[in-house]
Structure 1
Amino acid sequence: MSNPAIDALRKRRTQYALGKNLPIAETEAEALIHEAVRLAPSSFNSQSSRAVILFGAASVKLWNIVRETLRPLVPADQFGSTDKKLDGFAAGAGTVLFFEDGETIRDLQEKYALYAEHFPVFSEHSAGMAQLAVWTALAEAGIGASLQHYNPLIDAEVTRTWNLPPAWKLRAQMPFGSNEKPFGEKTYIDDAIRFRTFRD
Protein backbone atom coordinates (compact mmCIF):
# COMPACT_ATOMS: atom_id res chain seq x y z
CA MET A 1 0.00 0.00 0.00
CA SER A 2 1.36 3.40 -1.00
CA ASN A 3 -0.18 6.29 0.92
CA PRO A 4 1.63 9.41 2.22
CA ALA A 5 0.03 9.19 5.67
CA ILE A 6 0.87 5.50 6.04
CA ASP A 7 4.39 6.13 4.74
CA ALA A 8 4.87 8.81 7.42
CA LEU A 9 3.59 6.47 10.14
CA ARG A 10 6.07 3.81 9.02
CA LYS A 11 8.91 6.25 9.73
CA ARG A 12 7.76 6.74 13.33
CA ARG A 13 10.01 4.48 15.36
CA THR A 14 11.48 4.49 18.85
CA GLN A 15 15.00 5.92 18.80
CA TYR A 16 17.17 5.74 21.91
CA ALA A 17 20.45 6.71 20.20
CA LEU A 18 19.90 10.45 20.01
CA GLY A 19 22.27 13.26 19.07
CA LYS A 20 22.15 17.04 18.95
CA ASN A 21 22.59 17.43 15.18
CA LEU A 22 19.05 18.13 14.03
CA PRO A 23 18.51 18.01 10.25
CA ILE A 24 16.43 21.20 10.52
CA ALA A 25 16.78 24.40 12.53
CA GLU A 26 15.47 24.44 16.11
CA THR A 27 12.94 27.08 15.12
CA GLU A 28 11.62 24.79 12.37
CA ALA A 29 11.39 21.87 14.79
CA GLU A 30 9.53 24.11 17.25
CA ALA A 31 7.08 25.23 14.54
CA LEU A 32 6.59 21.61 13.46
CA ILE A 33 5.68 20.59 17.02
CA HIS A 34 3.28 23.52 17.34
CA GLU A 35 1.51 22.63 14.11
CA ALA A 36 1.30 18.92 14.92
CA VAL A 37 -0.33 19.60 18.31
CA ARG A 38 -2.61 22.21 16.76
CA LEU A 39 -3.84 19.78 14.09
CA ALA A 40 -4.32 16.79 16.41
CA PRO A 41 -8.03 16.05 17.02
CA SER A 42 -9.73 16.40 20.39
CA SER A 43 -13.22 15.61 21.68
CA PHE A 44 -15.65 18.53 21.34
CA ASN A 45 -12.71 20.37 19.76
CA SER A 46 -11.56 20.97 23.33
CA GLN A 47 -7.92 21.49 22.30
CA SER A 48 -6.92 20.36 25.79
CA SER A 49 -3.36 19.34 24.90
CA ARG A 50 -0.47 21.55 25.95
CA ALA A 51 3.21 21.18 25.08
CA VAL A 52 6.41 22.56 26.59
CA ILE A 53 9.44 22.34 24.29
CA LEU A 54 12.86 22.20 25.91
CA PHE A 55 16.05 22.66 23.90
CA GLY A 56 19.68 22.34 24.94
CA ALA A 57 20.42 22.97 28.62
CA ALA A 58 16.71 23.12 29.46
CA SER A 59 16.28 19.58 28.14
CA VAL A 60 19.33 18.37 30.08
CA LYS A 61 17.84 19.98 33.21
CA LEU A 62 14.65 17.96 32.72
CA TRP A 63 16.55 14.67 32.60
CA ASN A 64 18.58 15.67 35.67
CA ILE A 65 15.29 16.26 37.49
CA VAL A 66 14.23 12.75 36.50
CA ARG A 67 17.62 11.40 37.62
CA GLU A 68 17.53 13.00 41.06
CA THR A 69 13.88 12.05 41.55
CA LEU A 70 14.63 8.41 40.79
CA ARG A 71 17.92 8.19 42.71
CA PRO A 72 16.36 7.56 46.15
CA LEU A 73 13.77 5.19 44.65
CA VAL A 74 16.02 2.87 42.62
CA PRO A 75 18.38 0.49 44.46
CA ALA A 76 21.95 1.78 44.23
CA ASP A 77 23.20 -1.41 42.59
CA GLN A 78 20.63 -0.98 39.81
CA PHE A 79 20.96 2.76 39.29
CA GLY A 80 23.75 2.45 36.73
CA SER A 81 21.40 1.26 33.98
CA THR A 82 18.88 3.99 34.86
CA ASP A 83 21.64 6.60 34.75
CA LYS A 84 22.79 5.39 31.32
CA LYS A 85 19.26 5.49 29.93
CA LEU A 86 18.74 9.05 31.18
CA ASP A 87 22.10 10.10 29.70
CA GLY A 88 20.76 8.83 26.36
CA PHE A 89 17.67 11.01 26.60
CA ALA A 90 19.74 14.04 27.66
CA ALA A 91 22.06 13.49 24.68
CA GLY A 92 19.31 14.56 22.30
CA ALA A 93 18.60 18.05 21.00
CA GLY A 94 15.47 18.55 23.07
CA THR A 95 12.41 17.17 24.80
CA VAL A 96 8.71 17.77 24.37
CA LEU A 97 6.64 17.66 27.56
CA PHE A 98 3.01 16.79 26.87
CA PHE A 99 0.30 18.01 29.23
CA GLU A 100 -3.48 18.01 29.40
CA ASP A 101 -5.18 21.12 30.77
CA GLY A 102 -7.40 20.19 33.72
CA GLU A 103 -9.30 23.49 33.59
CA THR A 104 -10.41 22.79 30.02
CA ILE A 105 -11.60 19.35 31.06
CA ARG A 106 -13.49 20.70 34.09
CA ASP A 107 -15.17 23.37 31.94
CA LEU A 108 -16.39 20.67 29.57
CA GLN A 109 -17.65 18.58 32.48
CA GLU A 110 -19.72 21.52 33.69
CA LYS A 111 -20.99 22.43 30.25
CA TYR A 112 -21.87 18.87 29.23
CA ALA A 113 -22.85 17.26 32.54
CA LEU A 114 -24.32 14.19 30.82
CA TYR A 115 -20.82 13.21 29.65
CA ALA A 116 -18.90 14.56 32.67
CA GLU A 117 -17.39 11.26 33.76
CA HIS A 118 -16.06 10.59 30.27
CA PHE A 119 -14.08 13.79 29.69
CA PRO A 120 -10.94 12.63 31.55
CA VAL A 121 -10.90 9.57 29.26
CA PHE A 122 -11.51 11.75 26.19
CA SER A 123 -8.58 13.89 27.36
CA GLU A 124 -6.30 10.84 27.36
CA HIS A 125 -7.39 10.15 23.77
CA SER A 126 -6.49 13.72 22.83
CA ALA A 127 -3.12 13.39 24.57
CA GLY A 128 -2.28 10.21 22.69
CA MET A 129 -3.22 11.72 19.35
CA ALA A 130 -1.12 14.83 20.00
CA GLN A 131 1.85 12.64 20.92
CA LEU A 132 1.46 10.51 17.80
CA ALA A 133 1.08 13.61 15.63
CA VAL A 134 4.28 15.16 16.97
CA TRP A 135 6.25 11.90 16.84
CA THR A 136 5.20 11.26 13.25
CA ALA A 137 5.93 14.83 12.17
CA LEU A 138 9.39 14.65 13.73
CA ALA A 139 10.06 11.30 12.05
CA GLU A 140 8.98 12.72 8.68
CA ALA A 141 11.55 15.49 9.21
CA GLY A 142 14.28 12.92 9.91
CA ILE A 143 14.28 13.48 13.68
CA GLY A 144 14.42 10.53 16.07
CA ALA A 145 12.34 10.35 19.26
CA SER A 146 10.90 8.08 21.92
CA LEU A 147 8.01 8.40 24.35
CA GLN A 148 8.69 8.25 28.10
CA HIS A 149 6.48 8.36 31.18
CA TYR A 150 8.21 9.52 34.36
CA ASN A 151 5.06 11.29 35.49
CA PRO A 152 3.67 11.63 38.10
CA LEU A 153 6.98 11.31 39.98
CA ILE A 154 8.46 14.44 38.40
CA ASP A 155 5.29 16.52 38.06
CA ALA A 156 5.72 18.89 41.00
CA GLU A 157 9.36 19.69 40.21
CA VAL A 158 8.66 20.21 36.49
CA THR A 159 5.78 22.57 37.32
CA ARG A 160 7.94 24.50 39.77
CA THR A 161 11.03 24.67 37.54
CA TRP A 162 9.24 26.08 34.51
CA ASN A 163 6.50 27.94 36.42
CA LEU A 164 3.69 26.10 34.66
CA PRO A 165 -0.03 26.37 35.42
CA PRO A 166 -1.00 23.96 38.23
CA ALA A 167 -3.94 22.70 36.16
CA TRP A 168 -1.60 21.28 33.51
CA LYS A 169 -1.26 17.52 34.05
CA LEU A 170 1.94 15.97 32.70
CA ARG A 171 1.19 12.96 30.51
CA ALA A 172 4.44 12.09 28.67
CA GLN A 173 7.97 13.17 27.81
CA MET A 174 9.43 12.89 24.29
CA PRO A 175 13.22 13.25 23.99
CA PHE A 176 14.21 13.93 20.38
CA GLY A 177 17.31 14.52 18.30
CA SER A 178 19.37 13.25 15.42
CA ASN A 179 19.25 9.52 14.65
CA GLU A 180 22.65 8.24 15.73
CA LYS A 181 21.92 4.57 14.97
CA PRO A 182 19.77 2.81 12.37
CA PHE A 183 16.47 1.35 13.44
CA GLY A 184 16.14 -2.37 14.02
CA GLU A 185 13.54 -4.48 12.29
CA LYS A 186 10.01 -3.99 13.57
CA THR A 187 7.81 -7.06 13.79
CA TYR A 188 4.03 -7.23 13.84
CA ILE A 189 1.59 -9.76 15.22
CA ASP A 190 -0.63 -11.56 12.74
CA ASP A 191 -3.48 -9.48 11.31
CA ALA A 192 -5.95 -12.25 12.17
CA ILE A 193 -5.32 -11.56 15.86
CA ARG A 194 -5.85 -7.79 15.62
CA PHE A 195 -8.54 -7.27 13.04
CA ARG A 196 -12.03 -8.45 12.21
CA THR A 197 -14.07 -7.22 9.26
CA PHE A 198 -17.76 -7.87 8.67
CA ARG A 199 -19.83 -7.14 5.59
CA ASP A 200 -23.54 -7.72 5.12
Structure 2
Amino acid sequence: MTNATIETLKKRRTQYALGRNTTHSNDALEALIKEAIRLTPSSFNSQSSRAVILFGAASEKFWQLTEDALRAIVPAEAFAPTEAKMRAFASGIGTVLFYEDQDTVKGLQENFPLYADAFPTFSEHSAGMAQLAVWNALADAGLGASLQHYSPIADEPAARAFNVPASWKLRAQMPFGSHEASFKEKTFIEDDGRFLTYAGDLALAAE
Protein backbone atom coordinates (compact mmCIF):
# COMPACT_ATOMS: atom_id res chain seq x y z
CA MET A 1 0.00 0.00 0.00
CA THR A 2 1.38 3.41 -0.98
CA ASN A 3 0.78 6.08 1.62
CA ALA A 4 1.97 9.70 1.56
CA THR A 5 2.17 9.92 5.35
CA ILE A 6 4.47 6.89 5.53
CA GLU A 7 6.67 8.35 2.79
CA THR A 8 7.02 11.57 4.80
CA LEU A 9 7.92 9.61 7.93
CA LYS A 10 10.64 7.85 5.96
CA LYS A 11 12.12 11.24 4.99
CA ARG A 12 12.05 12.51 8.56
CA ARG A 13 15.46 11.78 10.02
CA THR A 14 17.66 13.36 12.66
CA GLN A 15 20.04 15.74 10.90
CA TYR A 16 22.87 17.41 12.79
CA ALA A 17 24.74 18.73 9.75
CA LEU A 18 22.64 21.80 8.97
CA GLY A 19 23.14 24.63 6.50
CA ARG A 20 21.30 27.55 4.97
CA ASN A 21 21.07 26.35 1.38
CA THR A 22 17.38 26.71 0.60
CA THR A 23 15.08 28.65 -1.65
CA HIS A 24 12.36 28.81 1.02
CA SER A 25 11.83 32.26 2.51
CA ASN A 26 11.60 32.80 6.25
CA ASP A 27 8.00 33.93 5.78
CA ALA A 28 7.11 30.70 3.99
CA LEU A 29 8.79 28.55 6.64
CA GLU A 30 7.12 30.51 9.45
CA ALA A 31 3.73 29.91 7.83
CA LEU A 32 4.52 26.21 7.39
CA ILE A 33 5.52 25.77 11.04
CA LYS A 34 2.49 27.67 12.31
CA GLU A 35 0.11 25.63 10.18
CA ALA A 36 1.64 22.33 11.29
CA ILE A 37 1.15 23.26 14.95
CA ARG A 38 -2.30 24.71 14.30
CA LEU A 39 -3.45 21.39 12.79
CA THR A 40 -2.01 19.24 15.60
CA PRO A 41 -4.58 17.40 17.75
CA SER A 42 -4.94 18.25 21.43
CA SER A 43 -7.11 16.94 24.27
CA PHE A 44 -10.48 18.72 24.47
CA ASN A 45 -9.19 20.82 21.55
CA SER A 46 -7.25 22.76 24.19
CA GLN A 47 -4.57 23.86 21.68
CA SER A 48 -2.02 24.11 24.48
CA SER A 49 1.05 24.03 22.23
CA ARG A 50 3.00 27.26 21.74
CA ALA A 51 6.13 28.05 19.73
CA VAL A 52 8.84 30.64 19.42
CA ILE A 53 10.18 30.58 15.86
CA LEU A 54 13.73 31.88 15.47
CA PHE A 55 15.62 32.64 12.27
CA GLY A 56 19.18 33.70 11.57
CA ALA A 57 20.74 35.82 14.28
CA ALA A 58 17.89 35.09 16.70
CA SER A 59 18.51 31.35 16.37
CA GLU A 60 22.24 31.89 16.81
CA LYS A 61 21.51 33.92 19.95
CA PHE A 62 19.46 31.12 21.48
CA TRP A 63 22.23 28.57 20.98
CA GLN A 64 24.85 30.99 22.28
CA LEU A 65 22.76 31.55 25.41
CA THR A 66 22.40 27.80 25.82
CA GLU A 67 26.13 27.32 25.30
CA ASP A 68 26.88 29.96 27.93
CA ALA A 69 24.55 28.24 30.42
CA LEU A 70 26.13 24.85 29.75
CA ARG A 71 29.65 26.23 30.00
CA ALA A 72 28.89 27.15 33.61
CA ILE A 73 28.19 23.53 34.56
CA VAL A 74 30.25 21.38 32.15
CA PRO A 75 33.95 20.98 33.01
CA ALA A 76 36.14 23.04 30.68
CA GLU A 77 38.26 20.05 29.68
CA ALA A 78 35.12 18.19 28.52
CA PHE A 79 33.33 21.10 26.87
CA ALA A 80 34.62 20.82 23.28
CA PRO A 81 31.95 18.32 22.09
CA THR A 82 29.18 20.42 23.65
CA GLU A 83 30.52 23.57 22.00
CA ALA A 84 30.62 21.79 18.65
CA LYS A 85 26.98 20.76 19.04
CA MET A 86 25.87 24.31 19.83
CA ARG A 87 27.70 25.64 16.78
CA ALA A 88 26.16 22.94 14.59
CA PHE A 89 22.65 23.78 15.77
CA ALA A 90 23.27 27.49 15.18
CA SER A 91 24.50 26.90 11.63
CA GLY A 92 21.04 26.10 10.28
CA ILE A 93 18.25 28.33 9.03
CA GLY A 94 16.47 28.56 12.35
CA THR A 95 15.16 26.92 15.50
CA VAL A 96 11.66 26.21 16.78
CA LEU A 97 11.24 26.39 20.55
CA PHE A 98 8.27 24.23 21.56
CA TYR A 99 6.26 25.23 24.63
CA GLU A 100 3.14 24.08 26.44
CA ASP A 101 0.93 26.74 28.05
CA GLN A 102 0.47 25.80 31.69
CA ASP A 103 -2.41 28.26 32.11
CA THR A 104 -4.31 26.24 29.51
CA VAL A 105 -3.54 23.02 31.38
CA LYS A 106 -4.65 24.53 34.71
CA GLY A 107 -7.85 25.80 33.11
CA LEU A 108 -8.67 22.29 31.92
CA GLN A 109 -7.99 20.91 35.39
CA GLU A 110 -10.37 23.43 36.93
CA ASN A 111 -13.10 22.92 34.34
CA PHE A 112 -12.86 19.12 34.20
CA PRO A 113 -11.74 18.02 37.68
CA LEU A 114 -12.46 14.36 36.96
CA TYR A 115 -9.48 14.36 34.56
CA ALA A 116 -7.31 16.82 36.49
CA ASP A 117 -4.46 14.40 37.08
CA ALA A 118 -4.36 13.42 33.42
CA PHE A 119 -4.16 16.84 31.78
CA PRO A 120 -0.39 17.34 32.26
CA THR A 121 0.13 14.02 30.48
CA PHE A 122 -2.33 14.99 27.75
CA SER A 123 -0.36 18.22 27.31
CA GLU A 124 2.83 16.22 26.78
CA HIS A 125 1.01 14.16 24.15
CA SER A 126 0.06 17.38 22.34
CA ALA A 127 3.64 18.62 22.58
CA GLY A 128 5.02 15.44 21.03
CA MET A 129 2.49 15.52 18.20
CA ALA A 130 3.26 19.18 17.47
CA GLN A 131 6.96 18.40 17.31
CA LEU A 132 6.44 15.51 14.91
CA ALA A 133 4.02 17.54 12.79
CA VAL A 134 6.60 20.32 12.35
CA TRP A 135 9.40 17.83 11.74
CA ASN A 136 7.35 16.09 9.04
CA ALA A 137 6.44 19.39 7.42
CA LEU A 138 10.09 20.42 7.30
CA ALA A 139 11.04 17.01 5.88
CA ASP A 140 8.45 17.41 3.12
CA ALA A 141 9.97 20.83 2.39
CA GLY A 142 13.35 19.15 1.87
CA LEU A 143 14.86 20.38 5.14
CA GLY A 144 16.61 18.57 7.95
CA ALA A 145 16.09 18.95 11.69
CA SER A 146 16.74 17.36 15.06
CA LEU A 147 14.85 17.41 18.34
CA GLN A 148 16.81 18.68 21.33
CA HIS A 149 16.01 18.88 25.05
CA TYR A 150 18.03 21.56 26.80
CA SER A 151 15.48 22.25 29.50
CA PRO A 152 15.64 23.55 32.12
CA ILE A 153 19.09 24.93 31.23
CA ALA A 154 17.75 27.08 28.39
CA ASP A 155 14.43 28.10 29.94
CA GLU A 156 15.32 31.33 31.70
CA PRO A 157 17.78 32.66 29.08
CA ALA A 158 15.20 32.06 26.33
CA ALA A 159 12.39 33.62 28.35
CA ARG A 160 14.41 36.78 28.93
CA ALA A 161 15.75 37.04 25.39
CA PHE A 162 12.50 36.42 23.54
CA ASN A 163 9.86 37.80 25.92
CA VAL A 164 8.28 34.39 26.52
CA PRO A 165 5.12 34.47 28.69
CA ALA A 166 5.63 33.09 32.18
CA SER A 167 2.95 30.41 31.71
CA TRP A 168 4.77 28.84 28.74
CA LYS A 169 6.86 25.80 29.66
CA LEU A 170 9.73 24.91 27.32
CA ARG A 171 9.54 21.29 26.23
CA ALA A 172 11.93 20.93 23.25
CA GLN A 173 14.02 22.73 20.69
CA MET A 174 14.25 21.94 16.97
CA PRO A 175 17.14 23.42 14.97
CA PHE A 176 16.51 23.07 11.24
CA GLY A 177 18.19 23.80 7.93
CA SER A 178 19.41 22.31 4.69
CA HIS A 179 20.86 18.81 4.63
CA GLU A 180 24.65 19.04 4.62
CA ALA A 181 25.36 15.34 5.15
CA SER A 182 23.84 12.00 4.19
CA PHE A 183 22.24 9.55 6.61
CA LYS A 184 23.21 6.11 7.76
CA GLU A 185 20.65 3.39 7.10
CA LYS A 186 18.00 3.36 9.82
CA THR A 187 17.60 0.09 11.69
CA PHE A 188 14.54 -1.26 13.48
CA ILE A 189 13.92 -3.73 16.27
CA GLU A 190 12.01 -6.91 15.45
CA ASP A 191 8.23 -6.58 15.09
CA ASP A 192 7.66 -9.68 17.24
CA GLY A 193 8.77 -7.84 20.36
CA ARG A 194 6.96 -4.61 19.50
CA PHE A 195 3.48 -5.33 18.19
CA LEU A 196 0.44 -7.45 19.06
CA THR A 197 -2.35 -7.76 16.49
CA TYR A 198 -5.76 -9.39 16.99
CA ALA A 199 -8.78 -9.81 14.76
CA GLY A 200 -12.22 -10.98 15.78
CA ASP A 201 -13.21 -12.21 19.22
CA LEU A 202 -10.49 -11.57 21.81
CA ALA A 203 -11.90 -14.38 23.97
CA LEU A 204 -11.29 -16.82 21.11
CA ALA A 205 -7.83 -15.38 20.52
CA ALA A 206 -6.93 -16.01 24.17
CA GLU A 207 -7.95 -19.68 24.08
TM-score class, shorter-chain normalisation, is over 0.9
Residue 97 of structure 2 aligns with which residue?
A: 97
Residue ranges of structure 1 left out of the alignment (5+ in a row): none
Structure 1, residues 40-83: CA drift from partner, whole Å, max 9, x if none?
10000000000110000000000001100000111111100100
The letter of the residue matching 1:21 is N
Aligned with 2:149: secondary structure? Answer: coil
Aligned with 1:52: secondary structure? Answer: strand
Residues 3-152 of structure 1 mapped to structure 2, 5 A cutoff? 3-152=3-152
Does 21-30 or 37-46 show the bigger shift? 21-30
The letter of the residue matching 2:43 is S
Aligned residues between the structures:
200
Could you say what the CA RMSD is over the residues aligned between the two structures, in angstroms?
0.8
| Cα distance in structure 1, aligned partners of 2:22 and 2:171 | 25
Shift of 1:146: 0.2
The letter of the residue matching 1:75 is P
Does the CA-based 8 Å contact 1:41-1:129 persist in structure 2?
yes
Shift of 1:23: 3.7
The letter of the residue matching 2:46 is S
| Cα distance in structure 1, aligned partners of 2:149 and 2:49 | 16
Shift of 1:193: 1.1
TM-score by length of 2: 0.95
| Cα distance in structure 1, aligned partners of 2:152 and 2:91 | 23
Does the CA-based 8 Å contact 1:15-1:144 persist in structure 2?
yes
Does the CA-based 8 Å contact 2:66-2:157 persist in structure 1?
no
Aligned with 1:105: secondary structure? Answer: helix
Shift of 1:22: 2.4
Residue identity (%): 62
| Cα distance in structure 1, aligned partners of 2:135 and 2:103 | 26
Shift of 1:21: 1.7
TM-score by length of 1: 0.98
Residue 166 of structure 2 aligns with which residue?
A: 166
Does 156-165 or 106-115 show the bigger shift? 156-165
| Cα distance in structure 2, aligned partners of 1:46 and 1:15 | 31
| Cα distance in structure 1, aligned partners of 2:132 and 2:75 | 33
Structure 1, residues 177-198: CA drift from partner, whole Å, max 9, x if none?
0001112110001111110011
Whichever of the two has the greater Rg, that structure is: 2
| Cα distance in structure 1, aligned partners of 2:124 and 2:135 | 16
